[in-house]
Amino acid sequence: MADLKTDVRYIKGIGEQRAKALGKLDIHTLRDLISWFPRRYEDRTEVRRIADLVPGEAACVAAMAASTPTVSHVRKGLDLVKLRAVDETGALDVTFFNQSWLKNNLRAGETYVFYGRAEGNLLRRRMTNPVVEPEGRREATGRIVPVYPLTAGVSQLILSRSIRQGLNACADILPDVLPDEIRREHQLCRAGYAYENIHFPETAEALDLARRRLAFEELFLFTLGLRRLRRRREEVEVEPFRPVDMGEFYNALPFNLTEAQRRCVEEALADMASGRPMNRLCQGDVGSGKTMVAAACAYFCVKNGRQAALMAPTEILARQHYEGLAPLLEPLGVRCALLTGSNTAKEKRDLAARLSAGEIDFILGTHALITGGVEYQRLGLVITDEQHRFGVGQRAALAGKGDHPHTLVMSATPIPRTLALILYGDLDVSVIDQLPPGRRAVQTSLVDSSYHPRIYKFLRKLVGEGRQVYIVCPAVSESEEGGDDRKAVTEYAAKLQDEVFPDLRVAYVHGKMRPKEKDAVMSAFAARETDILVSTTVIEVGVDVPNAAVMVVENAERFGLSQLHQLRGRVGRGEWQSYCVLISDNRSEETRRRLKVMTKTADGFKIAEEDLRLRGPGDFFGQRQHGLPGLRVADIGCDAQLLREAQAAADALLARDPELKTCPATAARMAELFSEAEVTFS
């Protein structure tokens, strides 16, 4: 008998070949299979007459094949199957690309249901590549049909049939991880019903019931796990840091900290003096001064006789932090060092020896800080920059180098409060909601591609004045994106260099380049050896270039608002007026309204709230970079009330049963979810 950890290849009807294809989607077990939830649904319950089809709308139509299909070979790799179908109201011309087997499957005189987008006019209706099946089968039509995320070699039909087999296999073994009293109190359906109707909904109402149950379950388990993590942290006692006169540090700064920065510093210092390990997130907009908060914490730590470490996601960012902080802190008696992959073997050995001997107070670097050979004498504070770039496992590896060191994580990705409760439920949150005085707002405009000649003229003028330019595209190469309308980094950079700016210095950078190549390009740009840098979003978190004064974003509709805000934050860091130009030819009212938000506000938190409302939490949860279990069903933008219910239920359960001894299935599933994300409760 199967259990939920059974390999999918052993599920009846799947086998080796299909299991291999499913593996590309990271579906390996029966649990993975039934938890591969649809990303949307198509209502194919209504069957229309041909005369009632509306051009541009997708619909089902039942019609009889009026003749045998014909096949024509247009060219190598392109076959067309054509068929005329009729009902009592008219005729429908149907064309299929590269599906020549349909010639033998579709028979004249038999009735089929076609689902697709109607084209043509009132006199002549057409459909191209519709879904088709015999009338009455109800596998792909005549019901609410789930649409799943796919990969090469896995079709919707293959996935749907595999999930059907999976649900059949676990019909009698699916545990209900919600305690019965919680399920009844919140009027939630049983697990079996939920899984059946999230994949094969009988009605829209059944789908709503299934989705609500599974979303509640996710949020409930997530809350339990985060509460347990926080409790585990609060049970640990550490030697409190003693008070330190911070006046020397503040007087050494060439500027005054903002009130928001001071508040964040005071919150962190209070944590470190509390006798419990600090676990704090400091989040603030690009340029709000998080680095100075980190510097103050490092100073406080070192003056308490302990070492501090700051880990950045890239070598160039680590070097930037070192070059900014070492000249400030070393005159105050804080011995600083930089450790990255670029250090020679001898330098690494020397740094490791000095670190373990306590001769370095504050070490800054990349992942090199957590390699096996690096040991600390008395690590008291761990700082990670750009938190969303590191998993919990990497944070834990650095923290593991000391005895319960304090942890400060910094993020320039503004996160709405509702989402921060979920993403960082195991951390205390400080927000820097002020920008340093004197920072000029970046002038932001939204235009279409007809403005390119004017934009190029403007860029040439600014480069002539000594400024530098970023141009961001959503793709790496035309070939990779199938030749669609996206501007592609490599081809676009070549076009700009050869045709538009032959006399300027154009370079490009993208995420598929090796780290050393990327760092070299970014370093050259920072050193003013490049005038125009064409890039993917790899520069979203990057080096500080005060001389860069223009950010041009091509195909801006392809990016989330929070991502656009991050990109805009790359400019406006110097003394000159800076500009952000968003280019989009998308005319949809919704897209224009979304992008217009960028021209109306520079507040990252307002933008993040709007992004969450319009797009859901995808931007934040996309790659599970935060290292906690991702949400597959719940949508924080829509499920705020459900989140409150789930949190209240979790808190009530933990109050009466802190160790979850009365609900072992709940405890086991929670531990399983968090172990997948490299978080344990031991």
Domain 247-432 and domain 443-601, same fold? Reply is yes
Query: What pLDDT, on the 0 to 100 scale, is given for residue 615?
Result: 57
| DSSP E strands, 502-587 | 506-509, 532-535, 548-553, 579-583
Q: Which two tokens stand for residue 168?
A: 């059949």
Q: Which fold has domain 247-432?
A: Rossmann fold (3.40.50)
Coil, strand or helix at 86:
strand
Task: Quote the radius of gyration of the chain (alpha carbons, Å).
Answer: 29
Query: What pLDDT, on the 0 to 100 scale, is given for residue 20?
Result: 84
**pTM of the shown model:** 0.66
Sign of torsion over alpha carbons 355, 360, 361, 366:
negative
Task: Read off the pLDDT of residues 122-181 as tens digits, 9 standing for 90 and up.
Answer: 778 888 889 888 887 877 787 888 888 877 777 787 888 888 888 888 877 888 899 999
Query: What pLDDT, on the 0 to 100 scale, is given for residue 494?
Result: 92
pLDDT at 222 over 50: yes
Number of helices (H) and strands (E) in the chain: give both, helices first.
23, 23
Q: Which two tokens stand for residue 144?
A: 């609410």
Average pLDDT of every residue of the chain: 84
Query: What pLDDT, on the 0 to 100 scale, is given for residue 478?
Result: 47
Sign of torsion over alpha carbons 489, 576, 528, 464:
positive
Nearest Cα residue to 42 out of 216, 207, 213: 207
> Distance between CA atoms of 152 and 477, rounded to whole angstroms?
19
pLDDT at 502 over 90: yes
The CA-based angle 546-598-531, given to 5 degrees, is 30
Q: What is the mean pLDDT of residues 648-677?
A: 86
Task: Read off the pLDDT of residues 48-59 as tens digits, 9 standing for 90 and up.
Answer: 898 888 888 888
321 versus 393: which is more confidently predicted?
A: 321
Q: How confident is the model at residue 605 (pLDDT cuts 50, 70, 90)?
A: confident
The residues, any chain, with a CB within 8 Å of residue 210's CB and separated by 6 or more, are: 189, 193, 194, 195, 196, 197, 198, 201
Give DSSP secondary structure letters for 250-296.
HHHSSSPPPHHHHHHHHHHHHHHTTTS--EEEEEE-TTS-HHHHHHH
612 versus 596: which is more confidently predicted?
A: 596
- At the second CATH level, the architecture of 46-142 is Beta Barrel (2.40)
Q: How confident is the model at residue 213 (pLDDT cuts 50, 70, 90)?
A: very high
Task: Read off the pLDDT of residues 463-483 as tens digits, 9 standing for 90 and up.
Answer: 999 999 999 988 655 444 443
Q: Which two tokens stand for residue 107?
A: 């028979």
Task: Read off the pLDDT of residues 75-127 as tens digits, 9 standing for 90 and up.
Answer: 877 888 889 999 888 889 999 988 888 888 888 888 999 998 888 877 788 88
Task: Read off the pLDDT of residues 623-640 as tens digits, 9 standing for 90 and up.
Answer: 333 445 567 787 766 677
State the DSSP code for 120.
E
The CA-based angle 286-297-293, given to 5 degrees, is 20
Burial 18-39 (b: 16+ CB within 10 A, else e): bbebbbebebbbbbbbbbbbbe
397 versus 366: which is more confidently predicted?
A: 366
The CA-based angle 650-655-657, given to 5 degrees, is 90
Nearest Cα residue to 682 out of 394, 674, 252: 674
Q: Domain extents for the chain?
A: 8-40+162-203, 46-142, 247-432, 443-601
Query: What pLDDT, on the 0 to 100 scale, is given for residue 251?
Result: 93
Task: Read off the pLDDT of residues 380-407 as tens digits, 9 standing for 90 and up.
Answer: 999 988 655 555 555 566 777 778 889 8
Query: What pLDDT, on the 0 to 100 scale, is given for residue 484?
Result: 42
Q: Which fold has domain 443-601?
A: Rossmann fold (3.40.50)
Task: Read off the pLDDT of residues 322-347 as tens digits, 9 standing for 90 and up.
Answer: 988 999 999 999 999 999 888 888 99
